[in-house]
A and B are shown apart, each in its own frame.
Chain A
Amino acid sequence: MGWNEIIFGGLIVIGLGAFFFFGRFRAGKAQRDRKNKIRWRKS
């Protein structure tokens, strides 16, 4: 296994790990409580 596999394989593990772990939590207050959010639902 060369450096290419170690570095980019590690990046895959870290990226997916971050997604599967942090993806389960709600966004912080700074993200949720603001007035200029995207209006996904038409009123």
Chain B
Amino acid sequence: MSKHNALTTFGRTGNPMFRGEAFKPDATFADSGTAGRMTLAGTVNKTGILLVLCLITASFTWNIFFRSGDPAAVTGLLWIGLIGGLVLALITIFKRQWAGITAPLYALAEGLALGGISAMFEAQYPGIVIQAMGLTFGTLGILLLAYKSGLIKPTENFRLMIVAATGGIAVLYLVSFVMGFFGSSIGFIHSNGLFGIGFSLFVVAIAALSLVLDFDFIEEAAERGAPKYLEWYGAFSLMVTLIWLYLEILRLLAKLRSRN
């Protein structure tokens, strides 16, 4: 399979939010005035709004967990957040024009889930959440600088590698999830042995490199004068990757702490 056939088969980016047709219908943008065009500053501001919304609902479930001290108190909210987030993400992917409404709702829903998950990890390993947040945002800042300076130059092959790795990880997680219903699982994914930690490091690396694809898409879309709603879409895609990266770092740190 040539690399271009592979791209057509697997999609053109590691992040499912960025399909090849991401801004195809607006190829020339001839009739969109300057005010109606996507900008980098607008995308950054909207990412900030999504992060704040996520933090608000995360604080809500976090507080409920630590007030009650009972994981069952947040389980319902956690599932509402996970399922609601998944549905809203799918709507945003297929109806990009609605991203201005669905992306903030997605951030609120994911916040519910992240707050509950983070609180459970924090109760077991005190101090782990601030470590995971620090590493996530540290990675975001470093990779943005590396991208802007040209230190990391994403190419078609780079994208193909991220797409293939992300697809493989997704399949592995899906198989493990299904096996869970039959009382079994793929052991090394969750183990705190060297292989399990190595797997987590690999997933963290792929999630981090997906940020570079997000930066490149946003830069290119802004450069071409894409429509304004893609600012929300770009911010949404960054949120999806950041949430993935945060959860994987959290899992990695938990594996390392559980060895002590």
Contact = CB atoms under 8 A, between A and B. Distances in A.
Contacts of A18: 140-142, 144-145
Interface stretch (B21-29, B86-94, B201-209): B21-29
A23 to B, nearest CB: 4
Nearest to B157: A36
A17 B138 CA distance: 10
A12 B134 CA distance: 5
Contacts of B138: 11-12, 14-15
Q: Which of the four size classes fits the interface of chain B?
A: 35 or more
A27 B23 contact: no
Interface string A13-42: 011111110111111111110101111111
A40 B12 contact: yes
A26 B41 CA distance: 10
Given A15-B138, A20-B48, A38 B216 contact: yes
B147 interface: yes
B156 A11 contact: no
Given A24-B40, A24-B41, A26-B219, A31 B148 contact: yes
Given A15-B140, A22-B148, A36 B221 contact: no
Contact of A40 (B23, B133, B137, B145): B23
Contacts of B154: 37-38
Contact of B134 (A11, A17, A23): A11
Contacts of A25: 40, 148
Interface in B153-189: 153-156, 158-159
A16 B153 CA distance: 22
A27 B137 contact: no
A11 B22 CA distance: 33
The residue in B18, B135, B137, B142 that gathers the most chain A C-beta atoms within 10 A of its C-beta is: B137
B63 interface: no
A30 B219 CA distance: 14
Interface of B: 12-13, 18, 20-24, 27, 40-41, 43-44, 47-48, 127, 130-131, 133-142, 144-145, 147-150, 153-156, 158-159, 213, 215-217, 219-221, 223-224
Interface of A: 2, 4-5, 7-12, 14-20, 22-32, 34, 36-42
Given A27-B150, A41-B23, 7 more contacts: A7-B134, A12-B137, A19-B44, A31-B219, A32-B219, A34-B153, A36-B155
